[in-house]
Amino acid sequence: MGPTDLTALPELPPLHVPWPGQARSTTVEVGSGLLGQISVPETQVALLHDRALPTEWVSRARQALNPALVLPVSSGESGKTLDEVGRLLSALAQGGLSRAGAVVGLGGGATTDVAGFVAASYLRGVAYYAAPTTLLGMVDAAVGGKTGVNLPEGKNLVGAFWPAQAVWCDTETLDTLPPRDFRSGAAEVFKHGLLARPELLAQVLPSTLSAAGLTRFSEWLPQLVRSAVEVKAEVVARDPTEQNERAFLNLGHTLAHALEALTRHRLPHGEAVGYGLHFAALLSEAQGATNLSPHTRAFLHWQNPEPLPRLQLDTLWPFIARDKKADELGPRWVLLHGLAQPYLARLPREQLGDVFETWRRDI
């Protein structure tokens, strides 16, 4: 399927995600060509962009915002470090950004995570805006207020809740996204289908992909992105600081974060989530659910993630035990009674062995 003129599609109305304990909300816009139209009320703007982002997208944002500071951020998970945050904070201070200024994050999910954390930390918090340019960033990382960086001991162990004033999801930026990155980001769309909207599975499962040709250029991609964003927005509105229901958005992420930490973040997040979703499906079936793993196995086959080394549960367990959902009683897993029926479970390590071996054979 060739490129489609997404600008000819009907305009999608913005979403509004409430902030915890406040009357304000994050405005989320999804469409094509948004990047050249973005604006903020603050007159002093720092644009933090992925260093590897095509110059076309950076130029469009610069023309729209006329930023006082333009700071490149190291790409991917390698940029999610305290050292990188310190470098960026120093640059803001040296550039004279005031508390009346704003930070705009432009790039993938890792970049918006870093930019949001910088905004939350600088002068104890300045206004923040996000312009995600990857599928993963649009449907997951940039919406909901979570920001943060990694430590050697694990993923996202340092961070803050700092909602963006606005999130602009310009699906035109997906035109330049490498196919592997697109398939990686599709894992979060697939996750939202498993969690809350089974109809999304029909759009992302391989049987539909081969028939309808889901690509970066599909004319219904903006609506697909919006539908996935709606799932997260609805959950975040009910549980903004992850006291209960928001933890369900971590379906597949307990194992995924362990795989990322074990591989020192060489495994892309979306591919780790693909592996993690299949493990969560198998674990759910071991607890009595049915007909979940065929979906996740088919998705994993289509996603074609980077092969993993031969893993042992003993090797992964220290990273699983440090997962951010863990408490004093141990790690908690997001499982499914069935499609759109998530729940939290605490399972001892000895209950994972057989499932882990099945998962390892499948991948």
Q: How many other β-carbons are positioned within 10 Å of the β-carbon of residue 140?
A: 28
Range 197-224 average pLDDT? 63
In the residue annotation, 49 being an active-site residue is answered as: no
Q: Positive or negative, the Cα torsion across 6, 9, 11, 16?
A: negative
Question: Rounded to 5 degrees, what angle do the CA atoms 86, 89, 95 make?
Answer: 140
pLDDT digits (tens, 9 = 90+) for 317-354: 999 998 877 777 778 999 999 999 999 999 989 999 99
In the residue annotation, 325 being an active-site residue is answered as: no
Among the listed residues 103, 56, 55, 50, the one whose alpha carbon sits nearest the alpha carbon of residue 76: 50
Residue 212 has pLDDT above 60, yes or no: no
In the residue annotation, 234 being an active-site residue is answered as: no
Q: Are 235 and 21 in contact (CB under 8 A)?
A: no
Name 101's Cβ contacts closer than 8 Å, sequence gap at least 6: 42, 43, 44, 45, 46, 68, 126, 127
In the residue annotation, 295 being an active-site residue is answered as: no
Q: Where in the chain is the domain with CATH 3.40.50.1970?
A: 6-177
175 is in an annotated binding site: yes
In the residue annotation, 246 being an active-site residue is answered as: yes
32 is in an annotated binding site: no
Of 230, 242, 260, 271, the active-site residue reads: 242
Of 49, 191, 197, 253, the active-site residue reads: 253
User: What pLDDT is attached to residue 199?
Assistant: 82
Average pLDDT score over the chain = 89
User: What pLDDT is attached to residue 8?
Assistant: 39
Architecture of domain 191-215+251-362: Up-down Bundle (1.20)
Q: Are 183 and 44 in contact (CB under 8 A)?
A: no
Under CATH, to which class is 6-177 assigned? alpha beta
Tell me the pTM. 0.87
Q: Where in the chain is the domain with CATH 1.20.1090.10?
A: 191-215+251-362
74 is in an annotated binding site: no
Q: Positive or negative, the Cα torsion across 198, 200, 205, 207?
A: positive
184 is in an annotated binding site: no
133 is in an annotated binding site: yes
**Alpha-carbon distance 74 to 149, whole Å?**
12
Residue 129 has pLDDT above 50, yes or no: yes
pLDDT digits (tens, 9 = 90+) for 160-187: 999 999 999 999 998 888 888 988 999 9
Of 60, 226, 246, 278, the active-site residue reads: 246
Residue 150, phi then psi, degrees to nearest 5: -95, 160
79 is in an annotated binding site: yes
Q: Positive or negative, the Cα torsion across 102, 108, 109, 114?
A: negative
In the residue annotation, 266 being an active-site residue is answered as: no
171 is in an annotated binding site: no
In the residue annotation, 337 being an active-site residue is answered as: no
